Amino acid sequence: MIRIAAVGDLHAGPDSVGTIRPRFEGVTDRADLLLLAGDLTRRGTAEEGRIVAAELQGLDLPVIAVLGNHDHHSGEEATIRRSLEDAGVQVLEREGVVLEFDGATLGIAGTKGFGGGFAGASASAFGEREMKAFIGHTEELAAGLEAALAGLRADIRIALTHYAPVDATLAGERLEIFPFLGSYLLAEAIDRAGADLAIHGHAHRGTEKGVTAGGVTVRNVAETVIGHAYKVYRVGDRSADDVVGEATGRSSTSTTPSRP
C-alpha cells in the first residue's frame, strides 16, 4: 500500500511567504509522497517560483510536480523549474519517474497538458495556424505523456497533469470554458498507456471525482475543489487474487499488483 498526497493550484505569491509550509505539517505521517498538480505560482514569475520552492524545501518525502498555465504566464517557467529542482522538487514534463516503497514500485508520468475540449465538443487542428498551434500543443503533450507512462516500469502507475483529462471533474465550471480546462487527448493517452490513477488541477470550480472512458480513476485536486491542504489516495491495497478476480471487463490496466 502506497499513500499519495496530492494538491494543485497553490498559486504562491509574495503574500504566501510562510503560509504554505505549515499546511504540509505532518504530511510525512500521512503519505509516502506528495504530488503537485501545477499552478504552483500566481503569475509565473521567477520570484514566485523561489517563494514556493522555499516553502516546499526540505519536506521529508518525495515531492513530484508538473507546472501549470500560471507558471508559464511570465515566460519564466524554466527558472521556476530550476528553483523547484534546487529545493528537491522533481518537475515532470513529458517525463516519468519511478520510486520504490517497501519493495513496491510507483511510477509517475507528468505533463502540464493543455486544452481543446472533450469528445463530442472538441477543437481540431484545422484552419488558422493559431488554431493548429493550440491543438498541436495539446497533441504534443498528450503524446509525450503517453510515451512517458508507457515507459514506466513500475507496479503502479500514475498520470499527473495540470489540465483535466476528462470533463467529469469539471462539473461546476461553466460549460463554455471546458475547452480551456482540458482535453480528451490526455485521457486517450492515459487509457492507451494504462494507469492506476490520474491526478489533475486547474479547474478551480470543478469536482474532485471522475473516471476515464477506459476506467482509470481521475481526481481533481485543485485546492479550491478539495477544501483541504491536500488529499491522500491509497494505491496497491488489493491483493493479487482480488485483481485477478476483477480483471475481466477492465480494459485499461496493464500493471501488476505489488503486494503478496
Which among another protein, Fe ion, none contacts residue 68 (Cβ within 5 to 8 A by kind)? Fe ion
At residue 73, the 3 state secondary structure works out as coil
Among 196, 200, 201, 212, binds another protein (CB under 8 A): 196
Q: Can residue 197 be called a binding residue for another protein (CB under 8 A)?
A: yes
- What is the phi/psi pair of residue 127, to 5°? 95, -130
CB 12 within 8 A of CB 52: yes
Q: How far is the CB of 126 from another protein (least distance, A)?
A: 26
d(CA 213, CA 216): 8
Among 53, 156, 186, 190, binds another protein (CB under 8 A): 156
Among 8, 10, 84, 164, binds another protein (CB under 8 A): 10
Among 26, 102, 240, 254, binds another protein (CB under 8 A): 26
- Residues 162-201 as b or e (16 or more Cβ within 10 Å = b): bbbbbbbbbeebeeeebbbbbbbbbbbbbbebbbbbbbbb
Max CA-CA distance within the chain? 55
**How many other CB atoms are there within 10 angstroms of residue 26's CB atom?**
10
Cell of 98: 519511478
Q: Can residue 94 be called a binding residue for another protein (CB under 8 A)?
A: no
Which among Fe ion, another protein, none contacts residue 231 (Cβ within 5 to 8 A by kind)? another protein
What is the footprint of another protein within residues 232-251 (CB under 8 A)?
232-238
Among 72, 132, 192, 204, binds another protein (CB under 8 A): 204
Q: Can residue 11 be called a binding residue for another protein (CB under 8 A)?
A: yes
d(CA 130, CA 142): 19
The contact set with another protein (CB under 8 A) reads: 3, 5, 10-13, 15-16, 19, 23, 26, 30-31, 42-43, 70, 73, 156, 196-197, 204-205, 217, 219, 223-224, 227-238, 253
